[in-house]
Each structure stands twice: as structure tokens, then as C-alpha cells.
Amino acid sequence: MAQKEYTLNELIQESAENPNENDFFELEKPAMLEVNLKNQKILAKAGSMVAYIGNIDFKREGLLSKGLGGLLKKAISGEGTSLMHATGTGKLYLADEGKKVKIIKLQNEAVFVNGNDVLALEENIKNEIKMLKSIAGMMSGGLFQVKLSGSGYIAITTHGEPILLRVTGNQAVYTDPNATVAWSENLTPNIKTNLTFGSFIGRGSGESFQLEFFGEGWVLVQPYEEVKYAAKS
């Protein structure tokens, strides 16, 4: 087996973007989204731009704006994370703390996504703020998520490679809220408490209650507990 040289040319060849790929949303690297704008506008998580080529303008959403920006203000650590508009022509590169990027092309469909895991979406994708009210008394501010619907591209992020679990009429799925990334439109999670287990683990969030999914659909779970909420004492 030939010894790897680790030369500068190897770095250039391995890391260079592929000029032959020009889809609107494309996965340039596992943790980097490339958006090919042609006099178009998208919405992206504020602060996710790492580079761009061409003529692209950015406008940050106000913290109290409606839609997804309002969700992100409330849902992500309570610190007011918001969205930004990116408009123009060129190549835009987006990333979020090294998390893996997953591209989904909705075709008159809908999906629920944890607010913190939304990276980008086409301007025409409808977004609605939803809250699991049954959790409001257990988690600070409740649990918010976004319903993304319509036709077009969205990009979400996960810590590591996620697993998709099928929910059937004969088999419910239970997940840690902090590890739950997304789920299908027709599912509505309930809350299941397990205070004894939570006390044994010794954590203030997560294991003391789980999301309980019944019906027909799927749930996407990441191998990481992304704690964004503080449990009420």
C-alpha cells in the first residue's frame, strides 16, 4: 500500500468544490450546503454563511419578525437566533457548527423539523410555528418546531448520521426530545414521563420524559442530545 504523501496538491484536489454540479441545493461536503442562486432568494439560518462567490446580498430578519424567525427567537436557547435572506446570483456556502447537512426536496408535502435544525429553505416554502403544549409545563417555554410545507428544497442539519425510525400502528416510537430532529406530517407526538428513570440518570432534561409517536410515519433521530431547553425546577 502506497504511503499517503499529504501534499498541498492532494489537499486542493480533495477539498475543491465540484464545478460540474449546479443544482439549486446541493451537498458540497457532508457538513456544507452549496446553494446556486440565479437571481433568486432563499431563507437561511443567520450566521450560517461561510463563503460565497458572485453578487449576493444578505439581510438579517428582525428578532421579533413573524414566521420562522419568530420561532427561532423563542426556540433556540432563548437567545434570539434569527433567519437571514440571501438574494442574488452566485454560489452560497452554508454550514452550522460542523453538523451534517441533509437536503430534502418537498413535492407538495410537509415535514416537522426542530427549529434549531433548519439550515435553509426556498422562499416559497411555507413555514409555521408549532408548539407541543403538553410539554410547556415541563420545559422552559415548551417545545417548538417548524412545519415546512409546499414544493421546493429545504436543508436540515444533524449531529452525526441520524437514524430514521418507522412508526406503525403496531409499534410506537419513543425519543429523547433533545435528540429528535424531524418527523412526518401526520404524526403528533405525545409526552411520556418517567421521573424515576430521570432521577436515576441524574439529569435535569431529556430522560425524565420522552416524545411518544403513534400512528403511521417516521421519526428522524440524531446520535446526540442537543440540549437547548432548561427544565423548570
Give the mean model confidence (pLDDT) for residues 9-18: 69
Query: Three cell numbers at 53?
Result: 462567490
What is the C-alpha to C-alpha distance for residues 77 and 156, in angstroms, rounded to an integer?
Answer: 18
Query: In the predicted model, is pLDDT for residue 136 greater than 60?
Result: no
Give counts: helices (H), strands (E), the chain: 3, 14
* Angle 36-40-41 from CA coordinates, rounded to 5°: 100
Give the mean model confidence (pLDDT) for residues 116-133: 84
Of the given ranges (39-43, 56-60, 126-130), which has the lowest mean pLDDT?
126-130
Query: Mean pLDDT for the chain?
Result: 79
Give the mean model confidence (pLDDT) for residues 57-63: 76
Give the mean model confidence (pLDDT) for residues 178-201: 77
Instruction: State the pLDDT at residue 141.
Output: 40
Q: Which residue has the higher pLDDT, 73 or 147?
A: 147
Q: In a 3-state reduction of DSSP, which class is residue 116?
A: helix
Query: In the predicted model, is pLDDT for residue 157 greater than 50?
Result: yes
* CA-to-CA dists, residue 37 to 76, 118, 123, 177, angstroms: 28, 19, 12, 34
What is the C-alpha to C-alpha distance for residues 17 and 187, in angstroms, rounded to an integer?
Answer: 38
Query: In the predicted model, is pLDDT for residue 220 greater than 80?
Result: yes
Q: Which residue has the higher pLDDT, 83 or 63?
A: 83
Q: Which residue has the higher pLDDT, 9 or 171?
A: 171
Backbone φ/ψ region at 92: left (φ over 0), alpha (ψ -120 to 50), beta: beta
- Answer yes or no: are the C-beta atoms of 116 and 226 closer than 8 Å: yes
- Answer yes or no: are the C-beta atoms of 120 and 44 closer than 8 Å: yes
Partnered with residue 47 across adjacent β-strands are none
pLDDT digits (tens, 9 = 90+) for 92-111: 999 999 999 999 999 999 99
Instruction: State the pLDDT at residue 51.
Output: 97
Highest-pLDDT range among 56-65, 66-75, 134-143, 161-170? 161-170
What is the C-alpha to C-alpha distance for residues 192 and 189, in angstroms, rounded to an integer?
Answer: 9
What is the C-alpha to C-alpha distance for residues 125 and 151, in angstroms, rounded to an integer?
Answer: 7
* Residue 77's pLDDT band (cuts 50, 70, 90): very low
Q: Which domains does the chain have, with CATH numbers?
A: 22-221 (3.60.160.10)
Alpha helices in 77-204 (DSSP H): 195-201
Instruction: State the pLDDT at residue 133.
Output: 55
Query: In the predicted model, is pLDDT for residue 131 greater than 90?
Result: no
Partnered with residue 32 across adjacent β-strands are 29
Q: Which of 159, 228, 150, 219 is nearest to 189 (CA)?
A: 219
Output Rg (C-alpha) for the chain, integer angstroms: 19
Instruction: State the pLDDT at residue 182.
Output: 93
Phi, psi torsion values for 27, nearest 5 degrees: -85, 100
